[in-house]
Amino acid sequence: MIEIKKYTLDNGLRIIVHPDKTTPLAAVNVLYNVGAKDESELKTGFAHLFEHLMFGGSKNIPSYDEPLQNVGGDNNAWTSNDMTNYYLTLPASNIETGFWLESDRMLELDFSQDSLDVQKKVVIEEYKQRYLNQPYGDVPLLMRPLMYKTHPYKWPTIGADIKHIEEATLEDVKSFFYKHYAPNNAILSVSGNVDPDEVYELAKKWFGDIPSRDVATRSLPEEPIQTELRSIKVERDVPTDMLQMSFHMCARRDDDYYAMDLLSDVLSNGTSSRLNQHLIKEQKLFTDVHAYISGDVEPGIFTFSGHVSDDVNIDDAEKAIWKEIEMIKEELVSDYELDKVKNKVESTITFSEINFLNKAMNLAQFELLGEAEDANAEVDKYRKVTAQQIQDCCKKVLVESNCSKLHYLSKSKKNS
C-alpha cells in the first residue's frame, strides 16, 4: 500500500506526496495533461517539441540543467499522445531547487527565436534518425493513419509531417504553451525522503502565485468503428520481412483493459509464452514476435509484431498468428497460464513501487486517469480477470474486420 497525501492549490495545481524514508533522495515530477492528441492536424509534433523547449531556459532561469547539477540532481522527460511528463531527482535536502526550476518554466519559458531554432533542429534531426534512417523506423508513420481515420492518435508524437516543426513560428509555440502549460492543467507529484506538509508549503511558495489559465477544452473526435480489414504493403532496404497486425481495443480506464493486457502476456510475455513456444521454437516462423497493448488513455491498440524468418513467406507467418488467435477463442486459457501471467504482473507492479521515482510518475498518471489512490488497486484488478473474460475480449477485438496490417518487405530478401 502506497501512502499518499494530496493537496490542491487555489490556482488548480494538484499535489501528490508519497513519503519514503528508505532513500536520502527525492523525485519531483510534473505531469501536464497535454499530448500529441491535443495538437492541430495542421500543426503536429508540438507536445514533443515542448519536451525540448522546456529545457531551453525559462523566464528567470537561463539554464535549467546547470543549477540542478550543482546540487547533485538529474532530470529527463517524455511525451506521449496523451500527456507530457517532466521529472527530476536530487538529494531531498536540496528539493527546493527542484521547485524553483519547475515553477519558473511553468510560469513562462524563454520564448526566443534562437532557442526555438535550436530545438527545432534537434527535433528534425531526431525525426530523421529515428523514423527515416533507422530500419523499420517509419512503421508508426505508416500504421497510425491506417488505424485511425478521425481521432488524433493518427499521428505519432514526433508529428505527422516534419514540415509542421520546420514551419513552427514563435507565435505558434507561445499559443500552444498558454493553452496547455498551466497549474490547473498539471499534477505535481513528489516522492522520497520528504515531509508532506513541508512539500505543500514549498508548493505554495513556488507555484502558488502562478495564475491559472484558460486551458483549451478538449473535444476529441470519436474514432468510427472499423468494419473491414485494412492493409498496406511496402518494400524497404531492411534485412528481413516484418509483419504488424493491430486491432482497436478499449481505453485505459475500461475494465476490459486488464483482460487485454493479460491476453498479451499469455501470448508473448517470456520464453514460455504461446507465440514464443509455437511460432519461434517449434515452427521457426519468426525470429522474434510480440503481442502488446498501447495503454492509451483513449481507446487504444492491441498489436502483434514480428520479424519473419528468412526462409518463410510472410503470408504463412500471418496465418500462424491467426491460428493462435483462434486457439484462444476456442479454448479457455488454462488456470496455470493465467496464474503465471498474473504473478508476473503483480511482481512487476511490486518491484516498480520500490523505486521512488517510479512511484512519483505512477501516482501522477493515476491521478490524471482518476485518482492517485487507484494505484493501490491495480493488482486486485488484474487478479479479478477470468479466463472467460479474456476469451470474450479476444472474440470481440481480435477479428479480421477490426484489423489493420502491414507487410513490411525486405528488398534484399525479394531479390535473393
CATH code, domain carrying 117: 3.30.830.10
**Can you tell me the mean pLDDT for 286-293?**
97
Q: 3-state class of 112 per DSSP?
A: coil
Domain annotation covers residue 243:
yes
User: Are 246 and 172 within one domain?
Assistant: no
pLDDT in tens, 43-76: 999 999 999 999 988 989 999 999 999 999 999 9
pLDDT in tens, 147-171: 999 999 999 999 999 999 999 999 9
Position 56 scores a pLDDT of: 86
User: Are 158 and 276 within one domain?
Assistant: no
Domain annotation covers residue 325:
yes
User: Are 48 and 117 within one domain?
Assistant: yes
Give backbone dihedrals phi and psi of 189, rounded to 5 degrees, phi first. Answer: -120, 135
Place 358 in a pLDDT band, splitting at 50, 70 and 90: very high
Q: How many domains does the chain have?
A: 2
The percentage of the chain sitting over the pLDDT mark of 90, rounded to a whole number, equals 93
**Can you tell me the mean pLDDT for 387-414?**
94
**Can you tell me the mean pLDDT for 130-152?**
95
User: Are 184 and 255 within one domain?
Assistant: no
Angle subtended by helix axes 314-330 and 256-268, to nearest 10: 130
Say if CB 38 and CB 91 are below 8 A apart.
no
User: Are 90 and 181 within one domain?
Assistant: yes
Position 351 scores a pLDDT of: 87
Place 194 in a pLDDT band, splitting at 50, 70 and 90: very high
Sign, CA dihedral 10-13-17-23, equals negative
**Can you tell me the mean pLDDT for 116-145?**
94
User: Are 170 and 290 within one domain?
Assistant: no
Burial class (CB in 10 A: 0-12, 13-18, 19+), 125: exposed
User: Are 235 and 353 within one domain?
Assistant: yes
User: Are 250 and 104 within one domain?
Assistant: no
Residue 415, pLDDT > 70, answer no
Say if CB 2 and CB 363 are below 8 A apart.
yes
Interatomic CA distance for residues 304 and 196, integer angstroms: 44
Domain annotation covers residue 212:
no
User: Are 266 and 195 within one domain?
Assistant: no
User: 207, 238, 266 — which closes off a domain?
Assistant: 207
pLDDT in tens, 336-350: 999 999 999 999 999
Residue with cell 507529484: 189
User: 175, 207, 239 — which closes off a domain?
Assistant: 207
User: Are 199 and 243 within one domain?
Assistant: no
Burial class (CB in 10 A: 0-12, 13-18, 19+), 334: exposed
Domain carrying residue 28: 5-207
Domain annotation covers residue 295:
yes
Q: Which residues make Cβ contacts (< 8 Å) with residue 250, sequence separation at least 6?
A: 256, 257, 260, 299, 300
Position 162 scores a pLDDT of: 92
User: Are 168 and 238 within one domain?
Assistant: no
